[in-house]
């Protein structure tokens, strides 16, 4: 009997990862025989864990927080989008050559445009946060030619650095949270890690345009604080990042196995019993 192809997600912490379930659902849908596991790997153990996984016949890896930069450094070859974002979330061996890609940005974009039907062209977009998550989504967002992207971050210098890095791709401004005018945005994306500590960035009222949307790159079994903030601010749509998670996983699956799973039934299944996809404004 041929052994199943083995994939894994490395991260720390990892116990709550939904990736094994998502990839098992993809494999079932496409009649593929794969094993996908989650491994708790600290950054200092990354190199050894990668080598051990490969020695055991592993085919490809996903890397999540805090390993995306280490995966970027480890890859022998990078896709253009991985190089631009400075982070890798998908690794694949081509013989012994390790190819690194980043599917986060395209995953977000597919969720926003295909699943939620939003257009980013000529829109005013606010990105909260200037860490790895923000860097991973900026390129694909700017490709959609929004009118303007404002990056707001607690540490202004990091927002400025990010704005400089992507300046050639569109109109980007960097501000601190205290400099955020209550100028309305069509889309506000939360790419901060504040939710992990049960916080949201300090935001003034009036930031959400009429018909505007809020999107949290994080997700949880309950609506996140930011999703609730968006709802309270009257957003037409305020949703978490579960759709992005499934879409970035489908892109990784495509890279590894050459076939793209249908994401909609998987998103619907993961939503079952959890919060509804969107919180519509009542007025």
Q: Which of 45, 193, 225, 255 binds ligand ATR (CB under 6 A)?
A: 193
* Stretch near ligand ATR under the rule CB under 6 A, chosen from 24-32, 151-159, 238-246, 251-259: 151-159
User: Which among 102-110, 192-200, 205-213, 259-267 is the span making contact with ligand ATR, rule CB under 6 A?
Assistant: 192-200
Among 83, 158, 165, 281, binds ligand ATR (CB under 6 A): 158
Q: Count other C-beta atoms under 10 Å from residue 170's C-beta.
A: 18
Catalytic residue among 18, 59, 68, 282: 68
Give the range of 35-43, 195-203, 239-247, 269-277 binding ligand ATR by CB under 6 A.
195-203
The DSSP 8-state label assigned to residue 114 in this structure reads I
The helix or strand, by DSSP H or E, that contains position 94, with its residue range, turns out to be strand 90-94
**Contacting residues for 174 by C-beta, under 8 A, at least 6 apart:** 130, 150, 151, 152, 153, 156, 159, 160, 162, 163
Which window, 12-20, 37-45, 88-96, 152-160, contacts ligand ATR (CB under 6 A)? 152-160
Is residue 197 close enough to count as binding ligand ATR by CB under 6 A?
yes
- CA neighbours within 13 Å on the CB side: how many for 238? 22
Residue nearest to ligand ATR (CB): 131
Position 89 contacts ligand ATR (CB under 6 A): no
User: Which of 219-226's residues contact partners 24+ apart within 8 Å by CB, and which partners?
Assistant: 219/245, 220/195, 221/274, 221/275, 222/275, 223/275, 223/279, 224/190, 224/195, 225/194, 225/195, 225/198, 225/199, 225/200, 226/190, 226/194, 226/195, 226/200
Question: Which of residues 25 and 249 has its CB atom nearest to ligand ATR in the complex?
Answer: 249
Q: How far is the CB of 221 from ligand ATR (least distance, A)?
A: 19
Q: Are strands 90-94 and 97-101 parallel, antiparallel or unpaired?
A: antiparallel
Site residues for ligand ATR, 218-257, by CB under 6 A, read none
How many amino acids of this chain bind ligand ATR (CB under 6 A)?
A: 16
Q: Active site includes 68? A: yes
Indicate whether 65 belongs to the interface with ligand ATR (CB under 6 A).
Answer: yes
Q: Is 192 in the site for ligand ATR (CB under 6 A)?
A: yes
Q: Which of 100, 105, 107, 132 binds ligand ATR (CB under 6 A)?
A: 132
DSSP, residue by residue, 132-171: HHHHHHHHHHHHT--SEEEEE-SSHHHHHHHHHHHGGGS-
Q: Which of 154, 165, 228, 277 binds ligand ATR (CB under 6 A)?
A: 154
Residues 6 or more apart whose Cβ sits within 8 Å of residue 275: 221, 222, 223, 240
Contact residues for ligand ATR, defined by CB under 6 A? 65, 129-133, 153-155, 158, 192-194, 197, 199, 201
Catalytic positions, written as ranges? 68
């Amino acid at each position: 009997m041929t052994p199943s192809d083995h994939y894994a997600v490395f991260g720390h912490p990892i116990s709550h990862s939904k990736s094994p379930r998502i990839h098992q659902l993809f494999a079932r849908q496409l009649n593929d025989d794969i094993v996908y596991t989650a491994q708790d790997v600290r950054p200092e153990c990354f190199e050894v864990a990668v080598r051990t996984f490969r020695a055991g016949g592993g085919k490809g890896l996903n890397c999540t927080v805090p390993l995306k930069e280490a995966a970027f450094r480890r890859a022998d070859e990078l896709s253009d989008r991985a190089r631009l974002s400075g982070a890798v979330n998908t690794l694949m061996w081509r013989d012994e050559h390790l190819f690194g890609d980043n599917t986060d940005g395209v995953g977000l974009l597919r969720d926003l445009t295909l699943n939620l039907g939003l257009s980013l062209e000529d829109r005013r977009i606010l990105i909260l946060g200037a860490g790895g998550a923000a860097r991973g989504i900026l390129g694909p967002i700017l490709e959609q030619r929004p009118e303007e992207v404002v990056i707001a971050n607690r540490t202004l210098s990091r927002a400025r650095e990010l704005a400089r890095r992507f300046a050639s791709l569109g109109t980007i401004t960097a501000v601190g949270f205290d400099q955020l005018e209550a100028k309305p945005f069509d889309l506000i994306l939360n790419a901060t890690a504040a939710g992990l500590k049960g916080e949201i960035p300090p935001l003034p009222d009036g930031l959400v345009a009429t018909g505007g949307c809020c999107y949290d790159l994080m997700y949880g079994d309950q609506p996140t604080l930011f999703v609730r903030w968006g709802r309270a601010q009257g957003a037409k749509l305020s949703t978490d990042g579960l759709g992005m998670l499934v879409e970035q996983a489908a892109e990784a699956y495509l890279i590894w196995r050459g076939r793209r799973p249908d994401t909609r039934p998987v998103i619907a299944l993961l939503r079952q019993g959890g919060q509804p996809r969107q919180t519509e404004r009542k007025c």
